Structure 1
Amino acid sequence: MLKIAVLVSGGGTNLQAIIDAVEQRTITNTKIEVVISNNKNAYALERAKKHNIDSKCISPKDFETREEFHDALLKTLEDHQIDLIVLAGYLVVISEKMIQRYEDKIINIHPSLIPAFCGTGYYGLKVHEAALERGVKVAGATVHFVDEGTDTGPIILQKPVQVEEGDTPKILQQRVMEQAEWIILPQAIDLIANKKIQVVNKKVKILI
């Protein structure tokens, strides 16, 4: 059984997609062990409580140094014996110590087809604003492993989404979530839970 921790900062729509997929058994062999937010007002924490999932707020604001915060986060993950960390709209930079401790065991969902519109400064609506400004015809989402860079880890799954005439960043964001993010994030977790993912030379191989 794969024990996962989902790290969130806001509403938790991707968390909800994971909860639903676990309950509907489209994600198999997986238990959401804990939901952690850096924001005590994140609605994602309410979603966890509604489904009787352990939830915690661990905020950098509650610690004197960044290092103490990172240590507390790491200790919580270790106490829960977490196998996979899922960043689902988590807006805090992960420490190098955690990345090394959980090598190829941290995944992130990014709302573009990496390597387009990714890296420092590209998050949330900013991604969709930049995509529309550039006039792209296809947007999408990417699930990737997390390494020391920003959005540079091995790509697990990607899904394209059509850009439509009259799209605003908000409309495009919603379509990318519904047609890509909420589909490929649960798929990636299920593949990992069933040992169908292999990382070779920084590239992901999906085993059929």
Structure 2
Amino acid sequence: MRIGFLSSHGGSGMRAVLEAVERGELDAQGVLCISNNSSAPALEVARRFGLHTLHLSARTFPDPAALDAAMLAAFRAAEADTVVLSGYMKALGPAVLNTYAGRLLNVHPSLLPKYGGRGMYGDLVHAAVLAAGESESGATVHAVEDEIDGGPVLLQSRVEVLPGDTVESLRARVQATEGPLLVAALRAL
């Protein structure tokens, strides 16, 4: 498996996958990390693991179709057969979605379909879970389709919401499950 990554920020999911590859727990190779944020820490993480990195965004490609085509060309040039979103905060274009259908994964910090969709990311998800008085939360790995967080659920991890939980404490427990969950989903592919 040759994995390309998309990340806007820290890339913790990407790091977990690359560490699993390094430990021999996943028969794969990371080949490329694309970010829409030229200062994303994920780019440095990717470089440390020997991946090629690119900054592709609306700034470098103002036309969405051109950005979609550039992203697809980069993944093809890297011979990526699977693409993982690791905290990528932008919608994907139809060329990437169609080419990688069924091999395009995202990890989301909730038990989808709850707390997914536009505007539901990071600490906003954890705050919404706490505000709703949920008894459990977790993470979901899902196939990426054109609806944000709307693709089929592949795997989920569950964590109990504890009395006195804060956004920070809940985030820490959910994040601790995301990497192993993503690795398990990639193994299943």
Under a length normalisation based on structure 2, what TM-score does the superposition of the two structures give?
Answer: 0.96
Match of 1:13 in 2: 12
Could you tell me how far apart the structure 2 residues matched to 1:191 and 1:165 are? 35
The 8 Å contact of residues 35 and 56 in structure 2, kept in 1 or not, is answered as yes
Match of 2:116 among 118, 121, 128: 118
Quick check: 1:190 aligned with 2:187?
A: yes
Amino acid at match of 2:188: L
Tell me the matched-pair count: 189
Please provide the CA RMSD for this pair: 1.1
Q: CA deviation digits over 1:52-98, x for unaligned, max 9?
A: 22111112211231222111111101111211000010001011232
Separation in structure 2 between the aligned mates of residue 119 and residue 57 of structure 1, nearest angstrom: 25
Q: What is the rounded CA distance, in whole Å, between the counterparts of 2:94 and 2:63 in structure 1? A: 15
Paired letter, 2:24 = R
Tell me which residue corresponds to 1:91: 89
Question: 1:55 aligns to what?
Answer: 53
Using the alignment, how far apart are the partners of 2:147 and 2:186 within structure 1? Answer: 21
**C-alpha deviations, 1:115-163, integer Å up to 9, x for none?**
1111121111111111000011100001011112121211111010111
- Tell me, which stretches of 5 or more residues in structure 2 are unaligned? none
In 1, Cα distance between equivalents of 2:82 and 2:156: 19
The aligned residue for residue 148 of structure 1 is: 146
Q: In structure 1, what is the equivalent of residue 168 of structure 2?
A: 170
1:77 corresponding residue in structure 2? 75
Aligned AA for 2:15?
Answer: Q
Q: 1:99 Cα shift?
A: 1.1
Task: List runs of 5+ in structure 1 lacking aligned partners.
Answer: 193-208
2:70 counterpart SS class: helix
The alignment-based identity, stated in percent, is: 34
Q: Which amino acid counterpart does residue 161 of structure 2 have in structure 1?
A: V
Runs of 4 or more consecutive aligned structure 1 residues displaced over 3 Å after TM superposition: none
Q: Could you tell me how far apart the structure 2 residues matched to 1:71 and 1:160 are?
A: 37
